[in-house]
Structure 1
Amino acid sequence: MSENNQLRDVFDAIADPTRRQLIRLLAEAEELPLHELTSQFQMGRTAVSKHLTILKEAGLVLDRKVGRETRFRLNASPLREVQDWLAFYSKFWHANMVRLNQLLEEDET
């Protein structure tokens, strides 16, 4: 586990399209209450709350109480793990495309 003492793997948390959409919504806003997040989906408040709990367990979402309302915001730092993982494959594909290009150029001569 990372220094955040995460309970859930970040890759597991972002595997679901609903959770990825929640991350996008929170990235576009500083902070959103549960009712505003729920209004963006065709599912109930309980289902959205369950998705938010999974994101919280992965360290991707932080929440705070404001009166009777719970507000959520994105903590994007755990996404660095995903970015680092993807960076390796980006280099892999770039190197392979360069080699393919070289082979195609050699074939033309």
Structure 2
Amino acid sequence: MVKYLDETLDRTFAALSDPTRRALLARLVENDHLSVSELAAPFAISLPAIMKHLDVLSDAGLIVREKTGRTVACRLTAQPMEQAMNWLNRYAQFWSESFDRLAAFVEDKPWSAQSPTPPNGQSKVRASRSRAGSGRGRKKSSPPGRRPSS
């Protein structure tokens, strides 16, 4: 059953990944029952290209096509979108709780933009050198194009 839901979600999100398919779905939200030619009217692509997009939406279960005589009409189906929304809501809840915990943590401990002076009175430069791990400091580089003689 989990495998089936994964495949359905994969097809749904793959179908929604294309802007033309999302625009076709948006037109069907406005008018629930449109013919293929009515759906294709505002797009600057060929009718066969629209048909391929409709095939992807149909394979994902996002639309249903109904033929009456010679006219093929399309309408939305809700189930795949409901499954996708449930999946998204589960992760939205997780991230919302995580951000709430982060906000609570940040609000409890105010952050200061200025770093405190080291306890032994060293300057900031010396304090940063001591973190480098070597007491000798950095090795100086030679000027470009010249090698130091050995």
- What is the TM-score normalised by the length of structure 1? 0.85
Q: Does 1:65 align with 2:71?
A: no
Q: CA deviation at 1:52?
A: 0.3
Q: Give me the whole-angstrom Cα distance separating, in 2, the residues matched to 1:28 and 1:12.
A: 22
Amino acid at match of 1:75: T
SS at 1:71 equivalent: strand
Q: CA deviation at 1:104?
A: 2.0
SS at 1:70 equivalent: strand
Aligned to 1:56: 58
SS at 1:104 equivalent: helix
Q: Give me the whole-angstrom Cα distance separating, in 1, the residues matched to 2:70 and 2:55.
A: 18
- Between Structure 1 and Structure 2, whose CA radius of gyration is higher? 2
- Which digits, 9 at most, give the CA deviation of each residue in 1:22-63, with x for residues without a partner? 111112212001111111211011101100011111111111
Q: CA deviation at 1:108?
A: 3.4
Q: CA deviation at 1:96?
A: 1.6
Q: Give me the whole-angstrom Cα distance separating, in 2, the residues matched to 1:89 and 1:78.
A: 17
Amino acid at match of 1:36: E
2:81 to 74, 79, 82: 79
Q: CA deviation at 1:72?
A: 0.6
Q: How many pairs align?
A: 105
2:20 to 18, 21, 24: 18
Q: Does 1:43 align with 2:45?
A: yes
Q: CA deviation at 1:14?
A: 1.4
Q: Give me the whole-angstrom Cα distance separating, in 2, the residues matched to 1:40 and 1:74.
A: 19
Amino acid at match of 2:56: I
- What is the TM-score normalised by the length of structure 2? 0.64
Q: CA deviation at 1:66?
A: 2.2
The structure, 1 or 2, with the larger RCO (C-alpha pairs under 8 Å, 6+ apart) is: 1
Q: CA deviation at 1:75?
A: 0.6
More helix, by proportion:
1
Aligned to 1:100: 102
